[in-house]
């Protein structure tokens, strides 16, 4: 699933994966920046709580965004694939200036939204300039290829990750969330070892990657983003590995980026600011 094409004269909106557990009350720097991008007090933000099994998730985020002073926030209770066909919900998405995907279970999110008119509306809206943020599961589903599961640990292995199709808001990227808190380096390395086409990014909690239409990733928040650049990968043993075998990877680059640092997905160059 690839990003929707940008029409002539228009500019793609930001794609903003958040590592989960973002500060919503004390110092919500990530959500404040998202709101500012979406128009400040005039922002119209649509919340999609599909990944969550909790009925209060959507209304809770409505309150969070309203407390930040925006004009309108609306939660769309999309809980079935029939819901994801709703013309009413599609209209709400098309009228928004920002879309927020909550956390929960990314497979619930993908199995309900995948291939539906609502998913198509999200991609079209982003291509037309609407900013899309997602936290935890809502971040995991953003790329073309989504990490659906895998064991914790620092070492990659043959069974280290399960992949599934994502929303396709951005390609050439695969990401993982709750990264250092849940010790997920091994599964991100496993995902990158399958194909060095994609840069891997691991996002800590209360940390976000603000990815602009120019492909530059800006780190915001309290934690780090780990970037695994496989562009100079010389060797991967994944193809020969047996079930559970550790993997040899030679030639990877790794960057640790804190708030204010940047990484260009097009040139694969990192900078401190």
User: pLDDT of 160-185, one tens digit each?
Assistant: 999 999 999 999 999 999 999 999 99
Domain assignment present for residue 273? The answer is no
Cα distance between residue 17 and residue 7, in whole Å = 24
Reply yes or no on whether 110 is catalytic: no
Domain assignment present for residue 9? The answer is no
DSSP H or E segment with residue 68: none
Domain assignment present for residue 271? The answer is no
Cα distance between residue 7 and residue 124, in whole Å = 10
Domain assignment present for residue 200? The answer is yes
Domain assignment present for residue 47? The answer is yes
Domain assignment present for residue 87? The answer is yes
Strand 131-135, strand 15-18: pairing: parallel
243-266: b or e for each residue (b if 16 or more CB lie within 10 Å)?
eeeebebeebeebebebebbbebe
Reported pTM: 0.97
- Catalytic pick among 52, 145, 205, 255: 205
Cα distance between residue 121 and residue 101, in whole Å = 14
Residues 228 and 199 sit within 8 Å (Cβ to Cβ): yes
- Catalytic pick among 75, 96, 125, 136: 136
Whichever domain contains 34, its CATH number is 3.40.50.880
pLDDT digit string, tens, across residues 19-49: 999 999 999 999 999 999 999 999 999 999 9
3-state secondary structure of 255: strand
Which has more confidence, 209 or 195? 209
Domain assignment present for residue 8? The answer is no
Range of the domain at 257: 15-265
pLDDT higher than 70, residue 1: no
Total count of domains within the chain = 1
pLDDT digit string, tens, across residues 220-235: 999 999 999 999 999 9
Reply yes or no on whether 131 is catalytic: no
Reply yes or no on whether 136 is catalytic: yes
Domain assignment present for residue 7? The answer is no
- Catalytic pick among 178, 190, 193, 236: 178
């Amino acid at each position: 699933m690839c990003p929707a094409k940008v029409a002539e004269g228009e500019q793609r909106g930001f794609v903003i994966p958040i590592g989960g557990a973002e500060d919503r009350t004390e110092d919500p720097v990530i959500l404040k920046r998202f709101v500012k991008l979406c128009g400040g007090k005039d922002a119209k933000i649509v919340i999609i709580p599909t990944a969550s099994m909790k009925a209060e998730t959507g209304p809770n985020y409505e309150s969070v965004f309203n407390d930040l002073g925006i004009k309108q926030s609306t939660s769309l209770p999309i809980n079935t694939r029939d819901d994801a066909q709703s013309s009413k919900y599609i209209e709400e998405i098309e009228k928004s200036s920002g879309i927020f995907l909550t956390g929960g279970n990314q497979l619930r999110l993908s199995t309900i939204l995948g291939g539906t008119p609502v998913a198509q509306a999200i991609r079209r809206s982003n291509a037309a300039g609407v900013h899309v943020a997602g936290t935890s599961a809502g971040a995991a589903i953003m790329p073309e290829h989504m990490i659906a599961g895998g064991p914790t640990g620092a070492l990659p292995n043959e069974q280290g990750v399960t992949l599934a199709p994502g929303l396709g808001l951005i390609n050439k990227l695969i990401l993982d969330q709750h990264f250092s808190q849940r010790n997920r380096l091994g599964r991100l390395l496993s995902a990158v070892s399958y194909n060095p086409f994609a840069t891997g990014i691991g996002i800590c909690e209360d940390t976000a990657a603000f990815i602009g239409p120019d492909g530059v990733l800006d780190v915001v928040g309290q934690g780090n983003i780990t970037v695994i650049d496989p562009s100079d990968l010389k060797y991967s043993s994944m193809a020969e590995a047996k079930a559970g075998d550790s993997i040899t990877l030679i030639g990877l680059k790794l960057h640790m980026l804190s708030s204010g640092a940047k990484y260009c997905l097009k040139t694969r160059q990192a900078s401190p600011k």
